[in-house]
Every structure is written in structure tokens, then in C-alpha cells.
Amino acid sequence: MTNSSTILCRVHGTDRPGITADLMGVLAESGAELYDVQQVVVRGRLTLDILFSAPEGRSTVKDLLFYGWESGLDIDFEVVDTAPSPPQPTSVVTIVGTTIGPAAFGAAAGAIAEAGGNIERIVRIARYPVVAYELIVSAGDLATLRENLMRAGQEHRFDVAVQEERLEKRLKRLIVIDVDSTLIQDEVIDLLAEAAGVAEDVKAITHQAMEGEIEFAEALRRRVALLEGLDVAEVERIAREVRLTPGARTLVRTLKRMGMRTAIVSGGFTHVTDFLAAELGVDHSAANALEVADGKLTGRLVGDIVDRPGKARILQEIATREGIPLEQVVAVGDGANDLDMLAVAGLGIAFNARSAVREKADVALNVPYLDALLFLLGIPRKEVEGEEVGPVPVPGLPPV
């Protein structure tokens, strides 16, 4: 080994402040040229790789070995090829699950290898309310990576997102969220129907719409007509009592703290979305407006209907108003009514969605915590709310 070679120095040992600074000091004194540095600490154990070359005749390697001996560190060296590797396309793979054991992780790694990809870096970004890892993958066909990883995720019960490692991935600036069964756990039309005593009639129309027998707009008009005479005070009560999806407050607060804009777009009703927007501090909201006369619902709607194409149109209008390109917009929803909105956004996320929606979305997330969306954006748990807190239990689910 000669000091003029390109050398990979590998350092292992108990971490403490100052190790990296000391090693760089040794290299600086010898006049070494620094090419690359990678460092990770796991449970107090340091792994540090330094790629460098040093002038002929300098005792750089000996000096590093002596420092390691004095500091109780294991240091070894390898002469490496100086030829630069050709640039490879890079992907970000995020895997999320209530638990991720060796079998699941191995299946994900195997799926990446089968697609011709190579894992360059692995970082755990969350341990609660779910476990999440971010993997930086070089090479490999993006479509094949997605297909292989989705298959592995279905078999081993984890969710996966595969995205190109581009600036747009790290610079999402607007998130648009569906309301019923996404931001909240309820379907508001069912709650209103129950209050009006027409629950079974409304369910029958909903079933016809889901079977494709009635268009959404017509089904909505028929259901709203059945609400005629319902006191608006009941609507306002229901708006106050809807159940937020676990993690909804955390998601919105964290996004706002990071400077992102937020919006909720619903095929439901403004009485609910306006209340939620004010309660959560959401920047934009849009939904269908119920006509009110003498303190009661008339059974009619006011203005344009917010349906499947309407949601996509509203998303685009909000993005234009905010000056945000669609590539930097995230859309989240659970139903067929959200498909156009998911398609037009730079990243479309199906949250606990029906199979037809999961298949067409960019990413499917099937955990019951809405703030797990943050991990798909590369935001680690320690950055959520600015501190690490314990898991929040959800009734009926095992603790994480």
C-alpha cells in the first residue's frame, strides 16, 4: 500500500464527540485529499468510512492507526479503484409497517436486488406509531422496483413507496386531503341521514352509486333531498362531533411548522369542512354547500357540485393560487371519487383505500395513522412536532 493510492479508511468503535474532527485533523496535517465521507451511529457504535489520497512519502496511514490505538478505535484500510463509477439513477424506497422484522426487510431487499437495484443507504426514520425505513437505491428499473416491492409488501404486510430521488421529492409544498374516511373516520352523509331518520334510504342510494348505477352528482342530490327539514343546529353538532383519524392533528401541525400549505377537499359539506379547517388551521377548504332556509335544510345544494373531476379542478386551482407546481403537490384520499385528484398531483397517496384506488395511486398506505404520511415525504419521526413522544394508542389495535 502506498500513500499516493486512493484509500478507503474504515473506523469502528464506541462513539464520542470529536472523533471525526480528530481524524480530519490527521488527514489535514498530511496534506491528504478528501473524496468522500459516510458516517452512521447505531446504539452508540460508530461506523465511519473516509475515502482519501495522500502525497507520496507521508505517513498518513500510520498516523491514523496510531490515533485509533490511542482512542480505542478499530481502523482498517483498503486500496480502491480510482475510476469514478458511471452515474446511476437513484430511487427512494420507503417501507412502513406496524412491525418490520427480518423476513419483511429481507423480502424488500430481495425485491430490490431482483429489479437490478443496489441499496446504498438505509435509515430508520420512525419507530412509532409505525416502523419506517428509508432506503436509497441506485440503478434498477423504477417500474420493476415498484412491482417487486408491492408484491413483497402484500406478502409480508408492509406498505411501500418508490419515488425517484429528485428535488421535487424533497420539496413538496402543498398537501390536499380528502375528508370522509381520510381526515376523519366518519361518512358525514350517513351521520346526517341518521339524524334525519332516513339512514336506510340514504344507504340504498349510496349502494346504487357504488355499483355504478347512478352518477355521483345525481346520487348526492337524491341523498341531500332526503335531508329536507333537518335543523341546521343538528348539522353543526355533527360537524363538532366527527372523529378525526388518529394522527390528523399531528400531520397538519407538522406540515404547517415546516412551511407547507394544506387543503381539505370533500364531496361532503361545507358545514363540516369549514369547521375542520378552522379547528386544525388548514389553509384551504372546499366542499358542497347545503342550502338553508329558516334554520333548516331545504334538501337542495348551492353552487357547483364537488365530485370526482371537481376535486381535481379545485386542487389545480389551489396550486395555481399558491404558485406551486403540481409536481410539488401531494393528494390523499380513499375512494374512487379521489382518483382524478390523486392522478393530477405530483404524488397521489391512497390511504386505507379500496383496492381499485390502491392499484391506481402512486402509493398505498394501509396503517391507521394519518401522520404516517410524513414518513413517505422523508420526514423522520424526530422532526415530527420537533420532539420524540410516545406512541398514541388506538382502540382495538395492539400497542406499537
Positions marked catalytic: 178, 180
SS (H, E, C) 195-246: HHCCHHHHHHHHHHHHCCCCCHHHHHHHHHHCCCCCEHHHHHHHHHHCCECC
**Pairing relation of β-strands 7-14 and 45-53?**
antiparallel
Distance of CA 226 to the CA centre of its chain: 39
CA distance 356 to 363: 13
- Distances from the Cα of 162 to the Cαs of 109, 148, 328, 354, in angstroms? 13, 11, 16, 20
* Nearest CA-CA partner of 372 in 397, 351, 394, 345: 351
* Nearest CA-CA partner of 339 in 375, 369, 365, 308: 308
- Per the omega criterion (within 30 degrees of 0), is the bond before 129 cis? yes
Q: Length of the chain in residues, anyone?
A: 400
